[in-house]
A and B are shown apart, each in its own frame.
Chain A
Amino acid sequence: MSWAWFHKLGSPKWFFSWSKSWALPLFCVGCVCLFVGLVWGLAFAPADYQQGNSFRIIYIHVPVAMLAQSCYLALGVAGFVFLVWQMKMAPVFIKSMAPVGAVMALIALVSGAIWGKPTWGTWWVWDARLTSVLVLFLLYMGIIALQNSLDDLVLVNKAAAVISVLGLINLPIIKYSVVLLETLHQGPTFTLTKKPEMPPEMWLPLLFSVIGLYCFVAGLVLWRMQTEILKREHRSNWVKQEVMEHGL
Chain B
Amino acid sequence: MHPVRKKRLLVILTIALILSAAVGLVMYALQQNINLFFSPSQVAMGEAPRNVNIRAGGMVVKGSVKRNSDTLAVAFDVTDFQHKVTIEYRGILPDLFREGQGIVAQGKLKDDGVFEATEVLAKHDEKYMPPEIAEALKSAQNSTDESAESVQSTY
What residues of chain A have their CB less than 8 Å away from a CB belonging to chain B? 46-51, 55, 58, 80, 83-85, 118-122, 125-128, 165-166, 168-169, 173, 181-184, 186-189, 197-199, 201-202
Specify which of A58, A83, A84, A120 is in contact with B121 (CB 8 Å cutoff): A120
Interface SS, B side: mixed
Centre residue among B23, B57, B124, B128 by max chain A CB count within 10 A: B128
Please tell me which one of the listed residues A84, A181, A188 contacts residue B5 in the complex, with CB atoms under 8 A apart: A84
Inter-chain contact A199/B12, CB cutoff 8 Å: no
Minimal Cβ-Cβ distance residue in A for B16: A165
List the A side residues contacting B23 at CB < 8 Å. Answer: 169, 173
Residue numbers in B under 8 Å from A118 (CB-CB):
95
Minimum C-beta distance from A54 to chain B (A): 9
Q: A47-B131, A48-B130, A118-B95 are in contact. Are A165 and B35 (CB under 8 A)?
A: no
B128 adjacent to A121 (CB under 8 Å): no
**B residues less than 8 Å from A128 (CB atoms):** 34-36
**Contact of A119 with B27 in the complex, beta carbons under 8 Å:** no
A121-B121, A197-B125, A197-B126 given. 8 additional CB < 8 A pairs? A80-B12, A120-B121, A122-B119, A165-B12, A169-B19, A189-B128, A198-B128, A201-B130
If A173-B27, A198-B127 touch, does A49 touch B133 (CB 8 Å cutoff)? yes
Asked if B90 is an interface residue, CB under 8 A from chain A, the answer is: no
The 9 closest A-B pairs by CB, nearest first: A46-B130, A121-B94, A49-B134, A182-B35, A127-B36, A197-B127, A189-B126, A49-B131, A186-B126
From A50, A198, A201, B96 is in contact (CB under 8 Å) with: A50
Does B20 lie within 8 Å of A48, measured CB to CB?
no
The reply to whether B131 and A125 contact each other, CB–CB distance below 8 Å, is: no
How far, in angstroms, from A198 to B125 measured CA to CA in the complex?
11
Complex Cα spacing A183 to B35, Å: 6
Residue numbers in B under 8 Å from A181 (CB-CB): 31, 34-36
> A184 and B36: CB pair below 8 A?
yes
Q: Which residues of chain B have a CB within 8 Å of any CB of chain A?
A: 5, 8-9, 12, 16, 19-20, 23, 27, 31, 34-37, 39, 57, 94-96, 98, 101, 104, 119-135
Which residue of the partner chain B has the closest CB to A79? Answer: B12
CA distance A122 to B36 in the complex (A): 14
Q: Within the complex, which residue of B12, B123, B131, B133 is in contact with A186, where a contact is CB–CB below 8 Å?
A: B123
Determine if A202 and B128 form an interchain contact, defined as CB atoms under 8 angstroms apart. Answer: yes
CA distance A166 to B19 in the complex (A): 8
**Chain A positions within 8 Å of B126 at CB level:** 186-189, 197
CB contact under 8 A between A125 and B134, given known A50-B96, A120-B122, A186-B123: no
Kindly list chain A residues whose C-beta atoms are within 8 Å of the C-beta of B120: 121
A199 touches B129 (CB 8 A): yes
Shortest distance in angstroms between B37's beta carbon and chain A's nearest beta carbon?
6
Nearest CB in chain A to that of B31: its residue: A181
Most buried by A among B9, B20, B34: B34
Q: Is the CB of A197 within 8 A of B130?
A: no
Q: Which residue of A lies closest to B127 (CB)?
A: A197
User: Within the complex, which residue of A119, A173, A182, A199 is in contact with B133, where a contact is CB–CB below 8 Å?
Assistant: A199
